[in-house]
Amino acid sequence: MRKLINKYINSNSLPKILFIFSLCFLSCAYGYLTNAFEWFPHSLIIDAKYFVEELITKEELSARHVKTNYTEKVPVYIEESSYNGLSLVTGIKEDSKLFTRVIDMEGELIHEWEIDWFDLWPDATHIPKSDPNYPKSRPGTHIHGVLLLENGDLIFNFGSLGMVKLDVCGNVIWRLPYRTHHSIYLDEQDNLWVPGMIRHLEPLPDLPNYVPPFVEPLVLKVSLDGEVLKVISVFDIFMKNDLYGLLGLSSIRSNDVNVTGDTLHLNDLETFPSFLEEGVFKTGDIMLSFRNINTILVFREEDLKVTHISTGTFVRQHDPDFIDGNTISVFDNHDIGSKDYNRQSRILMYSFADGQHYEYYSGNKEQPFNTNIMGKNQWLPNGNLLITESKKGRAFEVTPQGDIVWEYVNIIDDGIAGITEEVSRLPDLFTEEFMGDLTTACSVE
């Protein structure tokens, strides 16, 4: 045996083996130092990580059909406890087409707008075809933010692509070539407030740590005629209020604060109305929700002064609403825990007067409720709350005691539901007779 070992050691292979081991050792050492001191190619690895995460997010959003155990579109309806009326539903159909429809409490169809980007905006030039969000094949996008006016006109966002106004028959009234998304809020002066964005491919002088491509969130004020009345850059709001830390919150490097991509993700905005009694909030104050930094803030339109801000109480939240002069409700997606953990979304009540908060409603083992992205809620006149569990294709109405009294599922096939962006109960004006009168002209050739 010793002779064999000596023969092996004395062979010509030993220098090669030692060289390979040396390379392995040096590679491991350099890898450690690269991570510790951010040497080359640390930045390339981090940028690749961001790119992969962005691809995963887009793939997740493209999965528009989900498995479901529900077999009925309206499995629960307790008439005497519900706030009865017609509902506006936005989602995806069995043929992967987008829709917005009006349904009754039994889930029966009253009216529908079948919405197709390629039919409604075939000549879009405000978005380069090289942009990752540019629709390639149907459905190509989704409806994110919708509003039905009392005359039957429908206003909605194609997600990050633009805003469209249709009449009740589906004819285009106007199109706004601005990259709007997520929500549409109508204030008391009949102005539309909607999130917008610019995707920058070149650096901005005032933000040298922002590495292209990156998203600049915008607050847009738009008339009902489709005219842009005001554009407010969220970057300006943050910089005027010395909130640079939030602008760079997604940085994970030690020696710089470079960030890229959609660092903030503005997903909702609304104004404080005059019919609510003022507290810490004043009439006209504007509330913004930023998913990617778990932050909600309130600012003044006239000077961009941030008056209130909260970070970290909620996780990837959506759809905050003013409740009174001091309090908001928050759709807290609460996307935390390992994959095998039974995650549950919740509705939080949060006071900006003293920072106190409590859980108003949450999913549990008996009544699961979870959507890691999207999600809406609507407070109804009788005190009930209508919640849209978007990723499950489901909406449900709960009483203040937490009892489910109405439930809707966008079933498109056996065991399959379509993602549902939003379900809202329409004002009492909207009855079957009223909708019938509005749509009478649609059948006239």
228 and 141 both lie in a single domain: yes
In 3D space, the residue among 186, 178, 251 whose CA is nearest the CA of residue 216 turns out to be 178
65 within domain boundaries? no
Residue 45 φ/ψ, nearest 5 degrees: -65, -45
**Averaged pLDDT, 182-188:** 97
Q: What is the pLDDT of residue 12?
A: 56
CA distance 65 to 391: 9
Q: How far apart, in whole angstroms, are the C-alpha atoms of residue 409 and residue 393?
A: 6
Residue range(s) defining the domain that contains residue 9: 2-35
In a domain, 288, yes or no: yes
Determine the Cα–Cα distance for residues 396 and 407; give it in Å rounded to an integer: 4
Residue 270, pLDDT above cutoff 50: yes
For residues 246 and 378, membership in a common domain is answered with yes
Nearest to 371 by CA among 346, 341, 337: 346
Q: Average pLDDT, stretch 213-232?
A: 98
- Of 43-47, 147-151, 426-430, least confident by mean pLDDT is 43-47
Residue 63 lies in a domain: no
Could you tell me if residue 319 is inside a domain? yes
The whole-number pLDDT of residue 62 equals 44
2-9 and 13-37 are packed helices; what angle lies between their axes, rounded to 10 degrees? Answer: 70
Reading the block at residue 357, the tokens are 């908060």
For residues 69-81, give the mean pLDDT: 96
The listed range with the strongest mean pLDDT (52-56, 91-95, 319-323) is: 319-323
Task: Please give the pLDDT value at position 336.
Answer: 84
My answer on whether 28 and 101 are in the same domain is: no
pLDDT in tens, 6-34: 554 455 555 555 555 565 555 555 554 55
21 and 116: one domain? no
**Is residue 223 domain-shared with residue 91, that is, in the same domain?**
yes
Helix or strand run (H / E) with residue 156: strand 154-158
Mean pLDDT confidence for 180-194: 97
Same domain? For 91 and 9 the reply is no
Residue 129 lies in a domain: yes
Query: Has residue 42 been placed in a domain?
Result: no
192 in the same domain as 308: yes
Average pLDDT on 294-320 reads 97
pTM: 0.85
150 plus 235 within the same structural domain:
yes
- In percent, the amount of the chain with pLDDT more than 90 equals 75
Q: What is the sign, positive or negative, of the torsion defined by CA atoms of 306, 311, 316, 322?
A: negative
**pLDDT tens across 129-153, in order?**
889 889 988 888 999 999 999 999 9
pLDDT at site 138: 87
- Tell me the pLDDT tens digit for each residue of 328-375: 999 999 988 766 557 899 999 999 999 999 999 998 888 899 999 999
- pLDDT of residue 441 exceeding 90, the answer is no
What's the pLDDT score for residue 47?
44
- Say whether both 339 and 282 belong to one domain: yes
- In degrees and rounded to multiples of 5, residue 8 shows phi and psi of -70, -45
Question: Across residues 422-445, what is the average pLDDT?
Answer: 90
Which segment of 11-15, 83-87, 183-187, 277-281 scores lowest on mean pLDDT?
A: 11-15
Higher pLDDT, 167 or 13: 167
| Structural domains of the chain, count | 2
Whole-number CA gyration radius for the chain: 26
Q: What is the CATH number of the domain that holds 153?
A: 2.120.10.30
Structure confidence at residue 303 (pLDDT): 97
Mean pLDDT of 389-393: 95
Residue 303 sits in the same domain as residue 408: yes
The verdict on residue 61 lying in a domain is no
Q: Clarify whether residues 258 and 385 are in a common domain.
A: yes
Name the pLDDT band for 54 (thresholds 50, 70, 90).
very low
Are both 95 and 141 inside the same structural domain? yes
Q: Count H helices, E strands: the chain?
A: 7, 29
Segments in 111-161 forming alpha helices (H): 117-120
Residue 64 above 90 pLDDT? no
In a domain, 55, yes or no: no
pLDDT score recorded for residue 346: 96
pLDDT at 440 over 70: yes
